[in-house]
Structure 1
Amino acid sequence: MSDLATPLEGEESARQRARFPHFTRKQTNTAMVLALLAWTVAVFDYGLFGTLLPAMQDDFGWSESTAYLVNTLIAVGTAIVAFGVGPVIDRLGRRRGMMLTIGGTAVASVLTAIIPARLGAVSNTAIVAVRSLGGLGFSEQSVNATYLNEVFAITEDEKKRERRGFWYGIVQGGWPLGFLLSSALALVLLDRLGWRAMYLVATLPAVVLIIVISKKLRETPQFELHQRLTRLKKEGKSAEAERLAAEYGVEHTESAPIARIMQPELRRNTIVLSLAWIINFFGINIFSVLGSSVLANAKGVELSTAFWMLIVINLGAYFGYVFHGWLGDRIGRKKTIVIGWMISGVAFAAMLSPVVDTAALIVATYAIGLFFLVGPYAAIMFYMGECYPTDCRGTGTVIIGAMSQPGTILGGFLFTAVAAAWGTGPAALWVGALGTFLSGVLMLFAKSVPQLEH
């Protein structure tokens, strides 16, 4: 049964109808905790491949450039999967969307663990196909952004409503937490159990979380209204749907969500944000996903030492999300993103320079770079949700988020080509560090938007 207010008689009831029912403090906190766990688990699986790539490289008999190429081909498959998730979220709902994305990570983890090695093209094709399912898990962050945008707009918790960027930053911090867990697990279990067992371990929390979400997570009233309006229009009751939408002060059109995000009032941010994601993921793929390979191949760090370094680096990166979420509430999300990505590009360039040649300096410069690379995603994910109305919010956030995969593909091919010619270090500098800086420049062209009210 829907939580939406039932139509009543009189002016007073009309005012009540125009307000969405609140999320209580308890419901809001539950939503935040489950969203954080869902994103952490999704990243845990997504990050395992990058973390374990050096170990899998030996098992599958890949050269350094072949391993990078496989990672790039996986991004192609991930993009195909991710692009299909957005419209589904605007039809299934935020709650079911979260269950779908987490379910994808569980399936991907199990299948990865059982793929045989040393079968040449057969093994490589299987790896690419199975890891492409990671597109579901990667899209979980867009589901979170859509869901929490709507929750924070109607929560009775005034602190979370007024400082929504800060609180969302805590949730979006599941990205470095997921990578931290994958690095820690690799440090503890890789030599004892091998990389396959680690993927099986990653399956368990995903399965548990799906069950908990199905029982504990509440759908947003905004989406319930969207469903109700859609149903009325399908029944031929367009006038009634328009009156109901007007009472709640929301937009609702019959346009397909993908067409909707390219309408004149929304088009500019759709294009600018998409380009920024593409270019920024040159850096994300190199410095976040392939961190262990960069440290090992560009800075000569032993693999076990690289795992330790990445644990420290990703722990610091978590606070980058909190900081950028807080800063976005203060100076604006667009400015926060621009400043963060420009600083990140400079920090990674410094880290890759010959001057940085001690463990302490490598960790310090890498940590600063990752802090300002991933932290702004606390601002940009929430900013994206504020760019779109309810009827296309899921599609807008997921489609733009899915642009990460063309970025991974293009950046991956560039990285692979430059690494084959001049080595990992120069490739990380000219593709990763420069791409990160330029993505900040691109964000200067985005249009500022008011805070979401519905």
Structure 2
Amino acid sequence: MTTAPTPEIVDETEWPRNGAPSDEVLFKGPPTLSRRTIMTTTVVCFLAWVFSVYDFVLFGTLLPKISETFGWTTGEATAIATGVTVGTFVVSLLVGPMLDRWGRKPSLIVTTAGAALSSGFTALVGGAASLIGVRAISGLGYSEEVVNSVYLNEMYGKSRRRGFMFSFVQSGWPVGALLAAAFAAVLLPLMGWRWIFLLATFPVVIILIAGSKLRESPSFVALKRTRELRAAGRETDASRLAELYNLDISRDNESGLRQLFAPDLRRHTLCLSGAWLFNWMGIQVFSVLGTTVLTDGKGVSFSSALVVLILANLAGFLGYLFHGYLGDRIGRRTTIMVGWTIGGVVMTAMLFGPNNSAYVIPMYALGLFFLNGPYSAMLFYMGESFPARVRGIGSNTAHVMGPVGAIIGSALLSLVIGLGADATTAAFVAGALGMFLSGVLMLGARKVSQDEDDASVAPAAA
């Protein structure tokens, strides 16, 4: 068995901030990244995710006001929202290949800019067609979390707290959602919805400037160089560089999708994609349509349901931190399986338990804790479960199944109710059952070593 060469201790100052270092420096091995670099990258990724979520959630929050402006009926608004979801799905497909070919840092900038553009252009739309086209760009912002998972996985290396560190970044979802709700509530009486979307672009400009000053992942720099060496016929040098950075380049000359469905990754890709699809059925039913489930299915008043949604974001925030911490200790794959399985059981107990607010509200919040929280472990797990050569397209292929699951969840909920079932039974079939199945599907995903380094911040590795 061939043992990888022992890399030298390389300081990051030997690497240029933009561009690749010389081969002399590159072949010394991955640099030791400073705490300042790690912290700066973490903060920028967190803010990029917050404002990507802000744009993503703001559209749903303000859709009723947009509908009033254009005179759309509820049915028309729903159809337009479905069109936006389809457009989001199509655009988000671009992010995986971008990550693996352009790089992690450029992808961070493009996806964040996509969130800014979708917000800014939404302020200028003149009707349904332009709105669907403009909001499709938000697929870039939606996929910003995939960029974070791939980029930070490589920047954190084998730090023993890397999952917990990433959970803070992923917690940008409830933060962004609450910001969107707060800004809409405060600013809508003072200005129209167009101005609210326009104002959302300015913080992102600052993030883009900060993002341009970040370092590219050393793993991607090395991966890109191995491709150049192989193209030049220098296979021995390419293999030596790949060993130094722990890169698997055995199938790197094949297309990304073909690699994902090759025998070594096929089951993992299918199970991970299925887990995203089924779990997003639960997201759609209990998060997006949570108010409807609580009011129609459990008899909770509308005002109480709104309070619950605020508590839900708090539960999600705490859930991200808890599952990020737990993933570092018992393994991220195990954490995801256990979390989503428990979540499915809790939501089932909530649905078929007493119609009493004192029972329903705590159980609903607990269910969301186990529904949303495991995503901090899931996003980071995806980054470490695929080899660097397909880390972007692999993670994104599973990730884009989320909107598909949301569409199926809504359709199934409507179908079951249309067949005569009550809202409680429909929510179980379309939501709770999907949560449970997503946890079961994770059994087929790859087991990943989470060996720790002694240092709190270790050299970046693929």
TM bucket normalised to smaller: 0.7 to 0.9
Q: Cα distance, 1:362 vs. partner?
A: 4.6
Kindly indicate whether the alpha-carbon contact (under 8 Å) linking 2:299 and 2:355 is maintained by their aligned counterparts in 1.
Answer: no
Q: Percent identity?
A: 43
Structure 1 stretch 174-183 or stretch 317-326: which is displaced more?
A: 174-183
Give the residue type in structure 1 aligned to 2:170.
Q
Q: Cα distance, 1:293 vs. partner?
A: 5.5
Q: Cα distance, 1:130 vs. partner?
A: 2.1
Structure 1 stretch 66-75 or stretch 262-271: which is displaced more?
A: 66-75
CA distance in 2: counterparts of 1:139 and 1:399, whole angstroms: 11
Q: Paired residue for 2:437?
A: 438
Q: Cα distance, 1:223 vs. partner?
A: 0.7
Q: Paired residue for 2:204?
A: 206
CA distance in 1: counterparts of 2:90 and 2:297, whole angstroms: 31
Question: Does residue 340 of the first structure (1) align with residue 350 of the second (2)?
Answer: no
Give the residue type in structure 2 aligned to 1:36.
F
Give the residue type in structure 1 aligned to 2:217.
T
Shift in alpha-carbon separation, 1:343–1:198, aligned structure 2, 3 A: farther
CA distance in 1: counterparts of 2:131 and 2:332, whole angstroms: 38
Correspondence for 2:387 among 386, 389, 409: 389
Question: Does residue 149 of the first structure (1) align with residue 158 of the second (2)?
Answer: no
Q: Cα distance, 1:317 vs. partner?
A: 1.0
Give the residue type in structure 2 aligned to 1:225.
A
Q: Paired residue for 2:42?
A: 32
CA distance in 1: counterparts of 2:386 and 2:407, whole angstroms: 27
Q: Paired residue for 2:243?
A: 246
Q: Paired residue for 2:413?
A: 415
Q: Cα distance, 1:402 vs. partner?
A: 1.2
Shift in alpha-carbon separation, 1:317–1:96, aligned structure 2, 3 A: same
Cα offsets for 1:95-114 (capped at 9, x unmatched): 11011111111111122223
Q: How does 1:93-112 map to 2 (within 5 A)?
A: 93-112=103-122
Cα offsets for 1:379-416 (capped at 9, x unmatched): 11111111112111111111211121222232233234
Q: How does 1:422-433 map to 2 (within 5 A)?
A: 427-433=426-432
1:263 match: secondary structure? coil
Q: How does 1:18-167 map to 2 (within 5 A)?
A: 19-64=29-74, 66-116=76-126, 123-153=127-157, 161-167=159-165
Give the residue type in structure 1 aligned to 2:155.
V
Q: Cα distance, 1:168 vs. partner?
A: 1.0
CA distance in 1: counterparts of 2:271 and 2:218, whole angstroms: 30
Q: Paired residue for 2:448?
A: 449
1:265 match: secondary structure? coil
CA distance in 1: counterparts of 2:96 and 2:170, whole angstroms: 18
CA distance in 1: counterparts of 2:244 and 2:354, whole angstroms: 63
Question: Does residue 375 of the first structure (1) align with residue 379 of the second (2)?
Answer: no
Question: Does residue 225 of the first structure (1) align with residue 235 of the second (2)?
Answer: no
2:434 match: secondary structure? helix
Shift in alpha-carbon separation, 1:134–1:357, aligned structure 2, 3 A: farther
Q: Cα distance, 1:234 vs. partner?
A: 2.9
Q: Paired residue for 1:11?
A: none
Q: Paired residue for 1:7?
A: 24
Question: Does residue 173 of the first structure (1) align with residue 171 of the second (2)?
Answer: yes
Cα offsets for 1:166-210 (capped at 9, x unmatched): 111111111111112122223323344343333223222222211
Q: Paired residue for 2:322?
A: 323
Give the residue type in structure 2 aligned to 1:100.
V
Give the residue type in structure 2 aligned to 1:85.
V
Q: Tell me the TM-score normalised to structure 1 length.
A: 0.86
Q: Cα distance, 1:446 vs. partner?
A: 2.0
Q: Paired residue for 1:158?
A: none
Q: How does 1:230-379 map to 2 (within 5 A)?
A: 230-252=227-249, 253-291=252-290, 294=293, 306-352=305-351, 355-358=354-357, 361-379=359-377
Kindly indicate whether the alpha-carbon contact (under 8 Å) linking 1:419 and 1:425 is maintained by their aligned counterparts in 2.
Answer: no
Kindly indicate whether the alpha-carbon contact (under 8 Å) linking 2:113 and 2:208 is maintained by their aligned counterparts in 1.
Answer: yes
Q: Cα distance, 1:341 vs. partner?
A: 1.2
Shift in alpha-carbon separation, 1:445–1:46, aligned structure 2, 3 A: same
Kindly indicate whether the alpha-carbon contact (under 8 Å) linking 1:4 and 1:20 is maintained by their aligned counterparts in 2.
Answer: no
Give the residue type in structure 2 aligned to 1:226.
L
CA distance in 2: counterparts of 1:346 and 1:332, whole angstroms: 21
CA distance in 2: counterparts of 1:432 and 1:386, whole angstroms: 28
Structure 2 unmatched runs, 5+? 1-15, 452-460
Shift in alpha-carbon separation, 1:246–1:440, aligned structure 2, 3 A: closer
CA distance in 2: counterparts of 1:420 and 1:108, whole angstroms: 35
Q: Paired residue for 1:186?
A: 184
2:200 match: secondary structure? helix
Give the residue type in structure 2 aligned to 1:346.
V
Shift in alpha-carbon separation, 1:247–1:317, aligned structure 2, 3 A: closer
Give the residue type in structure 1 aligned to 2:240.
R
Cα offsets for 1:275-311 (capped at 9, x unmatched): 1111111122233344455556656777776554423
Q: Paired residue for 1:13?
A: none
Q: Paired residue for 1:119?
A: none
Shift in alpha-carbon separation, 1:289–1:214, aligned structure 2, 3 A: farther
Aligned residues: 433
Give the residue type in structure 2 aligned to 1:273.
L
CA distance in 1: counterparts of 2:245 and 2:164, whole angstroms: 27
Cα offsets for 1:308-352 (capped at 9, x unmatched): 442332022111011001111111112211121122223334444
Q: Cα distance, 1:417 vs. partner?
A: 3.8
Instruction: Please give the root-mean-square deviation of Cα atoms over the aligned residues, in Å.
Output: 2.7
Structure 1 stretch 294-303 or stretch 93-102: which is displaced more?
A: 294-303
1:145 match: secondary structure? helix
